[in-house]
């Protein structure tokens, strides 16, 4: 049995995603396709344009068999943490045999060599890396320059986001000692954050921009019919589009905080706490806030993610533990008939609990701990971390629904009220 795993955000699902999905299937010829998908907040540090259930439905309508949620605490991390979470979910299903990801280089062996160099760091590499960071370069750039001195490959090409992420996927596979086979598909079409609308070749960024400009009909040529229809329904109900700017109130929250309170939050180091504290006092405009915080070593995405880390109270200790142990559950967002079959396999083989009905999350943990105690099955779950990670997903959803354009549908609790999407 071959099971293809893919890591997605689908914000929103467009023809580039469809191409990737079809090419991956052609390459691996899997019996099942499982996608691990960001929930209500994405890696760019932004709320998704529509909620995770709507995006799940679109994924299923386009050929994915099962959608599992990437826990929020990983979805809004840099490439490293994002990979630990997403590969962790796929690996811990116990059934995924292959993953395929997009790559600008299209050279899996090159990416493996880089990943290997990064995992087995020589002292020379480490010294060079630190030097570059000290010079003020952002994490990915400092790493690239440090690699240049270590590998004979043309490392310069490592500035592309898919390759950077791909290396992290391979590193995460190594971290989990996973036997999943990684493959790459050479990316075609728009860069993922190319802001220009190019019809069928438009990036998700470009599509969101068009929606924001109030030209929803225009995206019809850039997305499969299912995307268009589901988005239309969501927008009609006032559950979207949700944009990052709606989070502007965080500035008021930041004004309540002392510098020391920032320091406890993940990603606040290298002086980011002071920059946040000062910028929140200087402006009441979220875009300008980010501009004020911006520095060579702080990318826009990192700043936007750090905003969410504060909003969700993601303290350092728990985040580091999360990055060491990986995700503590598999959360089902939706499935089709084949996905239902696959779930039966996962139920037998997964190393962490499977959550189908969110309201039972504590019960699920108790059952698993009981099985463990009785020696019936070997689970790998940290109870505290399981609760913490899951409750952060719930909190993220409750903040997300507050951002809905239509005030009358902003109630909290979507995780508990909505069942997995079944097709």
Q: Of the two residues 261 and 369, which places its CB atom closer to a copy of itself in the complex?
A: 261
CB of 71 to a copy of itself, least distance (A): 18
Binding residue ranges: 7-20, 102, 162, 187
CB of 328 to a copy of itself, least distance (A): 21
Q: Of the two residues 282 and 357, which places its CB atom closer to a copy of itself in the complex?
A: 282
CB of 252 to a copy of itself, least distance (A): 5
Which window, 14-22, 297-305, 370-378, 397-405, contacts a copy of itself (CB under 8 A)?
Answer: 397-405
Candidates 24, 43, 34, 25; CA nearest to 85 is 43
Phi first, then psi: give them for residue 163, nearest 5 degrees: -65, -40
Q: Of the two residues 127 and 253, which places its CB atom closer to a copy of itself in the complex?
A: 253
Per CB under 8 A, the list member of 1, 214, 378, 408 interacting with a copy of itself is: 408
Q: Of the two residues 151 and 412, which places its CB atom closer to a copy of itself in the complex?
A: 412
Which window, 34-42, 146-154, 201-209, 249-257, contacts a copy of itself (CB under 8 A)?
Answer: 249-257
Q: Of the two residues 288 and 419, which places its CB atom closer to a copy of itself in the complex?
A: 288
Asked if the bond preceding 105 is cis, omega within 30° of 0, the reply is: no
Binding residue ranges for ATP: 7-20, 102, 162, 187
Site for a copy of itself in 280-339 (CB under 8 A): 280-285, 288, 311, 313
- Tokens 């971290």 correspond to 175
Which window, 5-13, 117-125, 228-236, 402-410, contacts a copy of itself (CB under 8 A)?
Answer: 402-410
Residue 362 binding a copy of itself, by CB under 8 A: no
CA distance 23 to 6: 12
- Tokens 């929103």 correspond to 12
Which window, 66-74, 279-287, 334-342, 365-373, contacts a copy of itself (CB under 8 A)?
Answer: 279-287
Per CB under 8 A, the list member of 124, 196, 249, 296 interacting with a copy of itself is: 249
CB of 229 to a copy of itself, least distance (A): 26
CB of 412 to a copy of itself, least distance (A): 4
Q: Of the two residues 256 and 344, which places its CB atom closer to a copy of itself in the complex?
A: 256
Q: Of the two residues 369 and 398, which places its CB atom closer to a copy of itself in the complex?
A: 398
- Tokens 């930041």 correspond to 254
x-marked contacts with a copy of itself along 105-144 as a string, rule CB under 8 A: ----------------------------------------
Adjacent-strand bridge partners of 331: 69, 355
Residue 194 binding a copy of itself, by CB under 8 A: no
Residues lying near a copy of itself in the complex (CB under 8 A) are found at: 249, 251-253, 255-256, 280-285, 288, 311, 313, 395, 398-399, 401-402, 404, 407-408, 410-413
């Amino acid at each position: 049995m071959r099971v293809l795993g893919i890591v997605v955000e689908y914000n929103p699902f467009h023809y580039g995603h469809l191409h990737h999905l079809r090419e991956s299937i052609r390459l691996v010829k899997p019996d099942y396709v499982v996608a691990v998908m960001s929930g209500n907040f994405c890696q760019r540090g932004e709320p998704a344009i529509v909620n995770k259930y709507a995006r799940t439905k679109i994924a299923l309508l386009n050929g994915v068999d099962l959608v599992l949620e990437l826990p929020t605490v990983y979805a809004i991390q840099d490439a490293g943490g994002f990979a630990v979470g997403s590969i962790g979910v796929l690996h811990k299903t116990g059934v995924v045999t292959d993953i395929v990801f997009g790559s600008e280089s299209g050279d899996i062996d090159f990416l493996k060599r880089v990943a290997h160099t990064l995992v087995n760091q020589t002292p020379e590499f480490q010294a060079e890396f630190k030097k570059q960071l000290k010079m003020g370069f952002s994490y990915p750039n400092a790493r690239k320059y440090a690699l240049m001195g270590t590998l004979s490959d043309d490392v310069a090409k490592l500035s592309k986001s898919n390759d950077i992420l791909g290396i992290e996927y391979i590193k995460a596979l190594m971290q989990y000692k996973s036997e999943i086979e990684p493959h790459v598909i050479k990316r075609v079409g728009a860069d993922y954050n190319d802001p220009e609308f190019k019809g069928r070749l438009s990036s998700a960024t470009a599509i969101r921009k068009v929606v924001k400009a109030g030209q929803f009909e225009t995206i019809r040529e850039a997305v499969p019919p299912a995307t268009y229809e589901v988005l239309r329904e969501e927008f009609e109900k006032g559950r979207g589009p949700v944009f990052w700017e709606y989070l502007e109130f965080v500035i008021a929250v930041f004004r309540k905080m002392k510098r020391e309170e920032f320091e406890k939050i993940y990603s606040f180091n290298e002086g980011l706490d002071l920059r946040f504290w000062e910028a929140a006092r200087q402006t009441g405009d979220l875009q300008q806030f980010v501009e004020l915080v911006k520095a060579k070593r702080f990318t826009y995405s990192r700043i936007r993610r750090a905003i969410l880390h504060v909003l969700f109270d993601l303290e350092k200790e728990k985040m580091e533990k999360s990055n060491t142990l990986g995700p503590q559950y598999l959360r089902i967002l939706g499935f089709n008939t084949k996905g239902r079959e696959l779930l039966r396999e996962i139920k037998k083989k997964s190393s962490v609990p499977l959550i189908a009905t969110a309201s039972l999350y504590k019960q699920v943990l108790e059952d698993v701990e009981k099985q463990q105690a009785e020696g019936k099955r070997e689970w790998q779950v940290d109870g505290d971390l399981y609760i913490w990670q899951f409750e952060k997903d719930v909190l993220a959803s409750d903040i997300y629904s507050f951002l809905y354009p239509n005030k009358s549908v902003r109630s909290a609790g979507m995780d508990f009220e909505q069942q997995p999407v079944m097709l």
